Structure 1
Amino acid sequence: MPGPRLQPRKQPRQDRAGATRQRILDAAAHVFADFGYAAGTTNRIAERAEISIGSLYQYFPNKDSILVELMTSHTEDGFALIQRHLTAGLPDSIEGMLRIFVRAAIDNHRDNPRLHRVLFEEAPRPPEFLALLHRSEDAVVAAAEAILAAHPDVRVTETSTAARMVVATIESLVHRLVAGPRPIDPAPFEDELVSMLTRYLTG
């Protein structure tokens, strides 16, 4: 769990309090996307949320605690998206399986690419959040390794290494090219990335 400096102060027990907390988080997402980490102040967040700064501090002690909430939500949403795809069943082809991982990463990056860059490039990442990030990545790698080890078309011998390379390649390229400052068209990018990884695994 995050330390006291990063923990939310109030956990809402009523619908109204929950709605206020969500308004703060929504406002913060807009403010950080518009102004960046340094200029994304709690005053601006409170103004965007249309509440007093005192009310904001009833829920969050500082802007870093709000950032941790946004980071955690983003990471958990991305992992949950992959889990839903895996639970729904996988295609037979390795290309179809790879497309699930690639598309999930793209969907998790393109809604608000500027906010994503603030969260993962500008803002400090506390150890507690990094631990969550690593656990989520390890789970995705484990799922990918199980798929690669069982698929008859996969020709690489070190499937554990291949799974880590595939997951890291998807995350890195999607972050740089879909959520980067000069984003490219996701549709042809998805096709090219899936084709590249398919050739690596089956060639």
Structure 2
Amino acid sequence: MPSSDRRLTPRRKPRQVRAELTRERILTAAAQVFGEYGYAAGTTNRIAERARMSIGSLYQYFPNKDAILAELLVRHIDRGAWTGTEELDTSPGSLPETVRALVRDAIDHHRDDPQLLRMMIEEAPVSDDLLEAIDRHGKARAEQVREVFARHPDVGVADLDVAAELVVGTVEMNTHKLMAGPQPVQVERLETELVAMITRYLKGDR
């Protein structure tokens, strides 16, 4: 259910470049502070100090650190769209490499800071903006992937819409789980197994 908690709503939506830069400075500082001190000790005072601003100025943009963390997760999702799908090779026999490109793109998006990713997944409250971002980007990714599958001669599944949803969900769920785990799995192993599993499914192998 959508959240109606106003504590999670940013107080100021930037309309000018200067305000947007200030907001980004807060979010960058928060990511550093949360990574260094953890979420419990990553206070708004520390975030303001790292961002080189007064606590009052920070509160003009975010009411508390919950809202900041929720916005960090929204930003993470916003930056995670698959890129270059229109350039993927869809010639016969290229299906494993096509799938590999999709999986690798998702892995690359999650490998930068596993500790912060784990914190966002475990601690970030559910805001309306977060729910909207998840829905928007989930639909966009599924649409991109469906177009790739529709062009590929080796894809043998009967329902491309469902297949796209399943592949997007499988890649995202497993990438989040394994890359953000306390002992992240070796990236090459994750990529190899995901590619093999998804390729067999798309070929219609039984």
Q: What range describes the TM-score normalised by the shorter chain of this pair?
A: 0.7 to 0.9
Q: Is the 8 A contact 2:33 2:50 kept in 1?
A: yes
- What is the TM-score with the length of structure 1 in the denominator? 0.85
How many residues get paired? 197
Flag structure 2 segments of 5+ consecutive residues without an equivalent. none
Q: Do structure 1's residue 145 and structure 2's residue 128 form an aligned pair? A: no
Deviations 1:160-187 (A, max 9, x none): 2222221111111111112221112212
Distance 1:123 1:43 in 2: 19
Greater Cα offset, 122-131 or 43-52? 43-52
The CA distance in 2 between the partners of 1:182 and 1:106, in whole Å, is: 15
Distance 2:11 2:73 in 1: 14
Q: Deviations over 1:100-158 (max 9, x none)?
A: 22112111111111111222221101133112211211111122223223322112222
Q: Say which structure is richer in helix.
A: 1
Q: Could you say which residue in structure 2 is the equivalent of 1:90?
A: 88
CA distance in 2, matches of 1:52, 1:139: 39
Give the structure-2-normalised TM-score.
0.83
- Determine if contact 2:71/2:130 at 8 Å carries over to the other structure: no
Percent of aligned positions with the same letter in both sequences? 48
Query: Secondary structure of the equivalent of 2:79?
Result: helix
- 1:11 equivalenced with 2:14 (yes/no): yes
Structure 1 unmatched ranges of 5 or more:
none
Cα distance in 2, alignment partners of residues 161 and 46 from structure 1: 45
SS for the counterpart of 1:136 is helix
> Does the C-alpha gap of structure 1 residues 153 and 18 become closer, same or farther in structure 2, counting only changes over 3 Å?
closer
